[in-house]
Amino acid sequence: MYYYKIYGQSVISDLEMPILQKTEPTDCAEDQVIFVMLSSMPAPYDQMPGKSYHYSSEIGFLSNDGCNLLILNGKKIIYQPKPHPYSKSLVSYILGFGMAMLFLQRKQLAFHCSCITKGGRAVLIGGPSGSGKSTITNALLKKGFKLMSDDMTVVDPFHPDRPMAYPAFPYQKLCRNVIEYQKLNKNALEYINKKKDKYLVPAPSFYEKEAPVHAMIHLAVSDTLPIDGDMPLLSKPPAFAWCKLQGITTWEACKQALFLHACLVENLHEKELAEPTLRFSSLCPMYQIVRRNNSDSTERIAELIEKIVNES
């Protein structure tokens, strides 16, 4: 068996996951353990079609081309590889979709965001592919922020103080263009995703404790910037614009940022899923930053995010 830690929990697994930090069996508290085990799928999940999903607070099911996952009571992930699975994608699927559903069963939210922290204050940075998440995150790491998670962040919205984020693992998954922008040696890095052209990069600094979330940033890119009263003009011509989200738009932004948004879009208004997202969006300040396409505004956006975190 292998023993790891992720998102403030211990993982006991029969599958090796080298990306995770190791821990000792004696450190695995009974009420903070996630089990990951190989097993066949019970009926009716053994007959589910190629790509499908099912969610409830007791039983979740996910299936892709490489494997089936059964997620039980927020405590256990059972996996069954399909013929000729790619082992690295199996681990990624478990740590991504599997963990996201498991924590949702616990009423904790998994966001498709990176998370960094400075001075004990965490900030989530999300946005669609090409919006600059990795580039902005790396710019902030150079300013003294520490990485907590790269591609998926788990947050407890019901923490007594304010929503609490938990650390994942000390690596980033960076696209080739970010590697080249950072002038990193590709030959010294592990190539992990041919489809998305990504490399596994050790984080320059890693924060291993939980941290309260002081802001969520939603990045976007556009050929024309939405400049109005809520998106103040910052330069002439503007390189980017930003605003603080208000009212129902904060809930919509929260739901859009969920790691499982595409799978659960029809269920997000049900009470069980609405409660944690509504609570998070009511407690965490949210901002949208839209940069002009092909503009180099990385440093100025990083400065703005740092100011937002310091003043929140």
Which has the minimum average pLDDT: 60-69, 192-201, 221-230, 272-281? Answer: 221-230
Closest CA to 300 of 169, 139, 154: 139
Last residue of a domain, one of 106, 134, 165: 106
Count of beta carbons in the 10 Å neighbourhood of residue 40: 10
What is the per-residue pLDDT across 214-263, written as a single tens digit (0 to 9) for each?
A: 999 999 988 876 554 444 544 445 788 899 999 999 999 999 999 999 98
272 has a pLDDT exceeding 90: no
165 with 271, same domain: the answer is yes
184 with 73, same domain: the answer is no
What is the domain-level CATH number for residue 205?
3.40.50
54 with 191, same domain: the answer is no
Last residue of a domain, one of 51, 74, 106: 106
As a whole number of angstroms, the distance between CA 1 and CA 12 comes to 7
Mean pLDDT of 186-190: 82
Mean pLDDT of 56-74: 92
pLDDT at residue 140 in the model: 95
121 with 94, same domain: the answer is no
Mean pLDDT of 74-81: 95
Mean pLDDT of 161-179: 90
Which has the minimum average pLDDT: 34-38, 185-189, 286-290? Answer: 185-189
Q: State the sign of the Cα–Cα–Cα–Cα dihedral 127, 131, 133, 136.
A: negative
87 has a pLDDT exceeding 70: no
96 with 120, same domain: the answer is no
68 with 136, same domain: the answer is no
Band (5; pLDDT cuts 50, 70, 90):
very high
Q: Report strand pairing: 190-193 vs 9-13.
A: unpaired
As a whole number of angstroms, the distance between CA 276 and CA 13 comes to 28
Mean pLDDT of 99-124: 96
Q: What share of the chain is helix, strand, coil (3-state, %, to 5)?
A: 30, 35, 40
165 has a pLDDT exceeding 90: yes
pLDDT at residue 226 in the model: 58
Residue 87 burial by CB count (10 A; 0-12/13-18/19+): exposed, middle or buried? exposed
126 with 211, same domain: the answer is yes
For the chain, the domain total comes to 2
250 with 122, same domain: the answer is yes
As a whole number of angstroms, the distance between CA 101 and CA 108 comes to 9
pLDDT at residue 295 in the model: 79
pLDDT at residue 283 in the model: 96
**Percent of the residues in the chain that have a pLDDT greater than 70, as a whole number:** 93
Last residue of a domain, one of 91, 106, 121: 106
| Residue 84, SS3 per DSSP | coil
Residue 301: give the domain boundaries. Answer: 111-311
193 with 235, same domain: the answer is yes
85 with 115, same domain: the answer is no
Is 284 in contact with 217 (CB distance < 8 Å)? no
39 with 166, same domain: the answer is no
90 with 118, same domain: the answer is no
